[in-house]
Amino acid sequence: MPLLKTENLGITFGGLKALSDVHVEINEHELVGLIGPNGAGKTTFFNLITGVYTPTEGKIIFDGKLMNGKKNYQFNNIGIARTFQNIRLFKGLTVIENVKTAFHSSMKYSPFSGILKLPSYWKEEKLIHEKAIELLRVFSLENLINENASNLPYGQQRKLEIARALATNPKLLLLDEPAAGMNPSETSELMETIDIIRKRFNITILLIEHDMNLVMGICEKIFVLDYGMIIAKGVPEKIKSNPKVIAAYLGE
Amino acid sequence: MKNNFKYTAFIVLLLLVTYFVFVFLISSKTINNYYQGILMLIMINVMLAVSLNLVTGFLGQLTLGHAGFMAIGAYVSALFTKVSELPDILSFVIALILAGIAAAAAGIIIGIPALRLKGDYIAILTLSAGEIIRGLIIYFDEYTGGSRGMKMIPAYSNFSNVFWIMIITIFVIYSIIHSRHGRAVIAIREDEIAAESVGINIVNYKLFAFCISAFFAGVAGALFAHYNTLLDPNNFDYNYSIEMLIMVVFGGMGSLTGSIVAALGLTALPQILSDFSNYRMLLYSILLIIIMLFKPSGLFGTHEFSIMAIGGLFKGKKSKTKKRGDL
């Protein structure tokens, strides 16, 4: 059974068909790339499968559950975490607070024990503190935990955003242009990081990317979107030589 | 974390000392009735500013109806204690709780439509909600006395109970901010979309913050009613809401200690300056303009003033303020 399956998925904004007839299947532990020219509907697709938009047609099935009509935060609670194209950190908070905030749903204590600082509060807060540091260590951010998120350099902000997404303990991680604005050495470092987190956290990853080296280098499967439709899917080698893809990217 | 126990013990000690110093000063008549009145007003304003800061500073929603919640608390509690035949203390405690619950309920009722709005629109909605509450109080003059005011409220508030209730208010709001629920509230202020993407139910937490904030405004209103023994609906007009907002902005949105200091300063200042009554509003506004020009984020910004940091100052450390979240 695929982890994420969309059937006939589509959305229209007013008269504009942003996405139509999208069939996608992503299996567990896969690393999948989603590519396409600007305005093809990649981020719209992400917004649909994270509940930001409600699809006007079709179905989203995640882990065997029909997700249509669920709210944004429910998508996350069920196991889909994401990063954003323009980084969206909690800028005024420190690095560790960013991550701790994301542990919210995995913590159980009630407002009451939070106010009275009952043992369950101390126990869970301590556990989360350790877990957050452990997670930040994976991204070599453990020395910056008390730094304001907005003070981090760009590359580390990206990493922190991924760390924050992972803190919600997702089954599927969506990365929206993780390499945007990075130089080649940062990009290759990012490729390693993605590989590490996938193995270490044992999760499925779907990423949108324009950097072809990154996509072709690490993805096992690629979907190509153009004008809101999937025009090709398959392994990287096949995608590279697919005439439709070449036409979409280079023009005929 | 190790110093935590020491730190808590120190704070408790400091509070006890402050409390007994004031009790001594009041009982020895060093602080006369006039100054005691200012003191009570300061403490009530601290409660209001701190509770308003939860919504304005930490949740990031500009609200202008806090005096309305206070009014609900004041009238509900006064109506109860006037008819209640229970022993004084019991009747007062129940009145305080009722005041809080009534105000919190109003907070939820106003919070639900406010959730759909952003920024300035929330300000307008809450401003009008506050005025509606005042209008209703005037309209139901059979029970509330209307514009003539409500008289003969038993004077249950005194320095001791107001002081400790103020401390409880500060403690509860401080604790909420440092719990997972508070982090969720702050995340909404920082970025709503990102907050939802990490699984935070925005609707619930906005209502949560509105509700807690209104609760303590209601309690503060009840204390006010039983201190003043006379309630006039015009006490709770939008000017008062704006005054509270000024305290929060002045102290720093997102800084509880900032709210406390600002409430203290801005309540005491006009009283101290009463000899220069012609100029005091001028001075007040100049002070505000200066703060907004040179420190737009308020006295403390989002930082908390910490006694530990002053201790650190003597040891030669640099930081004067403590970042939220440090233990």
How do residues A183-200 score in pLDDT, each as one tens digit? 888 888 888 888 888 888
Q: Touching check for B207 and chain A: CB below 8 Å?
A: no
Judged by phi (left if over 0) then psi (alpha if -120 to 50, else beta), residue A121 lies in: alpha
- Flag if B198 and A102 touch (Cβ within 8 Å): yes
pLDDT the model gives residue B142: 86
* A121 contacts in chain B (CB < 8 Å): 179
pLDDT the model gives residue B273: 77
Handedness of CA A209, A212, A216, A218 (dihedral sign): negative
* A115 contacts in chain B (CB < 8 Å): 172, 175-176, 179
How do residues A206-229 score in pLDDT, each as one tens digit? 999 887 778 888 899 999 999 889
Nearest to A201 by CA among A154, A155, A134: A134
Amino acid B27 reads S
Token couple for B237? 């007009």
To the nearest whole angstrom, how far is the Cα of A6 from the nearest Cα of chain B?
Answer: 20
- Flag if B180 and A146 touch (Cβ within 8 Å): no
B19: in domain: no
Q: What are phi and psi of B254, to 5 degrees?
A: 95, 15
B167: in domain: yes
pLDDT the model gives residue A186: 84
CA angle A92, A98, A100 (to 5 degrees): 135
Chain A residue with Cα closest to B176: A115
pLDDT the model gives residue B316: 43
Percent of chain A past pLDDT 90, that is, above it, reads 50
Considering only residues 173 to 202 of chain A, which have any Cβ-Cβ distance to chain B shorter than 8 Å? none
To the nearest whole angstrom, how far is the Cα of B192 from the nearest Cα of chain A?
Answer: 9
Amino acid B82 reads K
Query: Which residue in B175, B190, B193 is closest to A91 by CB distance?
Result: B190
Chain B residue with Cα closest to A104: B180
B9: in domain: no
B4: in domain: no
| Candidates A48, A90, A162, A175, partner chain B, best to mutate (most B CBs within 10 A) | A90
CA angle A110, A72, A70 (to 5 degrees): 95
Token couple for A82? 């994401």
- In terms of Cβ atoms closer than 10 Å to its own Cβ (0-12, 13-18, 19+), residue B89 is exposed
B21: in domain: no
Exposed e or buried b for every residue in B281-297, given b needs 16+ CB within 10 A?
A: eeeeeeeeeebeeeeeb
Count: domains in chain B: 1
- Flag if B184 and A105 touch (Cβ within 8 Å): no
Nearest to A1 by CA among A47, A52, A42, A61: A61
Q: Touching check for A114 and chain B: CB below 8 Å?
A: yes
To the nearest whole angstrom, how far is the Cα of A120 from the nearest Cα of chain B?
Answer: 11
Q: Touching check for B167 and chain A: CB below 8 Å?
A: no
B305: in domain: yes
Mean pLDDT of A100-124: 91
* B208 contacts in chain A (CB < 8 Å): 111
- β-strands A80-82, B304-305 pairing: unpaired
**How far apart (Å, rounded) are the C-alpha atoms in residues A174 and A171?**
10
How do residues B135-169 score in pLDDT, each as one tens digit? 999 999 888 888 888 888 999 999 999 999 999 99
Q: What is the CATH number for B230?
A: 1.10.3470
Q: Touching check for A47 and chain B: CB below 8 Å?
A: no
The three-class DSSP label of residue B62 is coil
* B183 contacts in chain A (CB < 8 Å): 97, 100-101, 104
Q: Touching check for B326 and chain A: CB below 8 Å?
A: yes
Query: Which residue in A50, A71, A101 is closest to B183 by CB distance?
Result: A101
Residue indicated by tokens 């209103």: B221
To the nearest whole angstrom, how far is the Cα of A49 from the nearest Cα of chain B?
Answer: 11
Please give the sequence-ordered ranges of beta strands (E in DSSP) within chain B, or none if there are none: 304-305, 321-322
**How far apart (Å, rounded) are the C-alpha atoms in residues B303 and B256?**
9
**How far apart (Å, rounded) are the C-alpha atoms in residues A47 and B13?**
53
Query: Which residue in B175, B180, B202 is closest to A107 by CB distance?
Result: B180
Residues in chain B predicted with pLDDT less than 50, given as ranges, are 1-2, 316-327
Say how many C-beta atoms besides its own lie within 10 A of residue B130's C-beta.
27
pLDDT the model gives residue B309: 58
Q: Which range of residues forms the domain containing residue B133?
A: 30-322
Bridge partner residues of B139 (DSSP): none
pLDDT the model gives residue B308: 58
**How far apart (Å, rounded) are the C-alpha atoms in residues A194 and A197?**
5
**How far apart (Å, rounded) are the C-alpha atoms in residues B135 and B129?**
10
Element (H, E) at B52: helix B33-53
* B179 contacts in chain A (CB < 8 Å): 109, 111, 114-115, 121, 125
To the nearest whole angstrom, how far is the Cα of B316 from the nearest Cα of chain A?
Answer: 20
To the nearest whole angstrom, how far is the Cα of B182 from the nearest Cα of chain A?
Answer: 9
Q: Touching check for B222 and chain A: CB below 8 Å?
A: no
| Domains of chain A with CATH codes | 1-79+170-252 (3.40.50.300), 90-168 (no CATH)
- In terms of Cβ atoms closer than 10 Å to its own Cβ (0-12, 13-18, 19+), residue B38 is middle
- Flag if B186 and A93 touch (Cβ within 8 Å): yes
Rounded to 10 deg, the angle between the B180-190 and B159-177 helix axes is: 70
Amino acid A187 reads T
* B180 contacts in chain A (CB < 8 Å): 100, 103-104, 107, 109, 114, 124-125, 128
CA dihedral (B195, B201, B203, B204) in degrees, to 10, reads -130
Chain B residue with Cα closest to A47: B197
Query: Which residue in B175, B184, B186 is closest to A117 by CB distance?
Result: B175
Bridge partner residues of A221 (DSSP): A32
To the nearest whole angstrom, how far is the Cα of A242 from the nearest Cα of chain B?
Answer: 35
pLDDT the model gives residue A55: 92
B131: in domain: yes
Band (pLDDT 50/70/90 cuts) for residue A75 is very high
Q: Touching check for A162 and chain B: CB below 8 Å?
A: no
B295: in domain: yes
pLDDT the model gives residue B300: 81
Cα→Cα distances B135→A176, B226, B259, Å: 51, 22, 29
Judged by phi (left if over 0) then psi (alpha if -120 to 50, else beta), residue B29 lies in: left
Token couple for B222? 């009840």
Rounded to 10 deg, the angle between the B33-53 and B66-83 helix axes is: 120
Element (H, E) at A140: none
